[in-house]
Structure 1
């Protein structure tokens, strides 16, 4: 069972007192799109690859321009264990493979025609028995978020759900987890980049630009968490990345193919 399949929570269960104050200081002093002062210079392609996880990086206050996150390793290790069941290389690779090959997009692909009001039933044959048990929750979440997604311009109408892909939601988390697993020593730098590059290739095959990517990410987040997970914050981060002149999305396009 994968815990907290959204983003790594900022809540730390050990050393709670010290961690709370260090985290509070970090939040107060946080500036958008933090850069690693000691980071290696990335090629445009490497930065575009890293930008697949830009929403997650902003939410967790990670560096936006390096494989290293800038966060405390103990905090990362605790969160990987608590929310993703990742404690070593084997569990790290299991989660990364799940995100790369299946993720939550399998649920969306099963329910999107029904949720769009086009089909009278879901495509449940693509789901495992365990996945079928979770499907009603995701259907409910999408239903309660359609109005907000339309008002914010992520979809043009309920029927527009049929044209969407939430691959971005899975690949954004893959980049986040690959970075964290590298920081903890569960996977090598080469392995981390390998997974992230595959995520980038998949996204380039589906999305034309960062705006389309952002829509896919937000829709996926809304399907996963619904209103209970307060999607307004994620929407704000995505909108900032699309608009802010200093945003990494403004610096490098999604479609960059040469080092």
Structure 2
């Protein structure tokens, strides 16, 4: 199944595993990856994804550069630490002070190994993306982003990626359970509700990937409102 058809398929139904589902707080942990899972038309409520092994291998190897246990652990850990990136805080501060944005970035971010250029690029993406998100009514103002940032995007990708790595035997079930629990716990520092989580995911994808947000918005609406969705009756993370 090609990416585009898979993307469209995500809007047709919420996929649930009837045989090996998890429930309660374990499901809460797993739902941190629900946006990414929906993108891939995977199960929302089980450790197994329900995807073909060849598709999982392609996603993990081609898009993430993971082909063994060490690479899996390194990438998964990096997705946990991205929200503690102090340079990202500087980018947000610069956004709030557009007259002095360059000086704020230059005086607080090192230029070793083109680090400064990377964060200047992020600032420019943010400057393009925020008005679009406000116009599309995804957020009402920039203040909404200050706490959540792109946490949903980071933790969300991490949880789904961990499920894929588990299915490829790069991590154990115990490691998967610990990883998704930690993701859920840390996400709560940034997002209070599942609505904030889906918004944060959309924001993250828009900043890092660019392009249209309409597909992501539709996935978020489906997750939050479809009566089959495990998120339907959950408000708080």
Offset, 1:161:
4.2
CA contact (8 A) 2:163 2:176 kept: yes
CA contact (8 A) 1:52 1:172 kept: yes
Residues 192-230 of structure 1: per-residue CA shift (max 9 Å, x gap): 111111000011222111111122211111110123xx2
Offset, 1:72:
0.8
- Matching of residue 36 in structure 1 with residue 20 in structure 2: no
**C-alpha distance in structure 2 between counterparts of 1:164 and 1:206, whole Å:** 4
| Equivalence for 1:197 | 181
CA contact (8 A) 2:10 2:41 kept: no
* Between 92-101 and 152-161, the greater mean CA deviation after superposition: 152-161
Aligned length: 233
* Between 164-173 and 115-124, the greater mean CA deviation after superposition: 115-124
| Equivalence for 1:98 | 78
Secondary structure of the residue aligned to 1:249 is coil
Secondary structure of the residue aligned to 1:67 is coil
Of the three residues 211, 217, 227, the one matched with 1:245 is: 227
| Equivalence for 2:41 | 61
**C-alpha distance in structure 1 between counterparts of 2:84 and 2:209, whole Å:** 11
Offset, 1:174:
0.3
Of the three residues 207, 214, 229, the one matched with 2:198 is: 214
Change (3 A) 1:179 1:113: same
TM-score w.r.t. the length of structure 1 is 0.78
Q: Alignment RMSD, CA only?
A: 2.9
Change (3 A) 1:215 1:205: same
Offset, 1:102:
2.2
- Matching of residue 147 in structure 1 with residue 123 in structure 2: no
Spell out the pairing of 1:37-186 with structure 2 (5 A cutoff): 37-40=18-21, 42-102=22-82, 108-117=88-97, 120=101, 121-122=104-105, 124-125=108-109, 129-158=113-142, 160-186=144-170
CA contact (8 A) 1:48 1:254 kept: no
Offset, 1:108:
3.7
**C-alpha distance in structure 1 between counterparts of 2:94 and 2:46, whole Å:** 40
CA contact (8 A) 2:193 2:235 kept: yes
Offset, 1:37:
2.9
**C-alpha distance in structure 2 between counterparts of 1:28 and 1:207, whole Å:** 28
**C-alpha distance in structure 2 between counterparts of 1:128 and 1:195, whole Å:** 32
CA contact (8 A) 1:33 1:58 kept: yes
CA contact (8 A) 2:109 2:116 kept: no
* Between 210-219 and 152-161, the greater mean CA deviation after superposition: 152-161
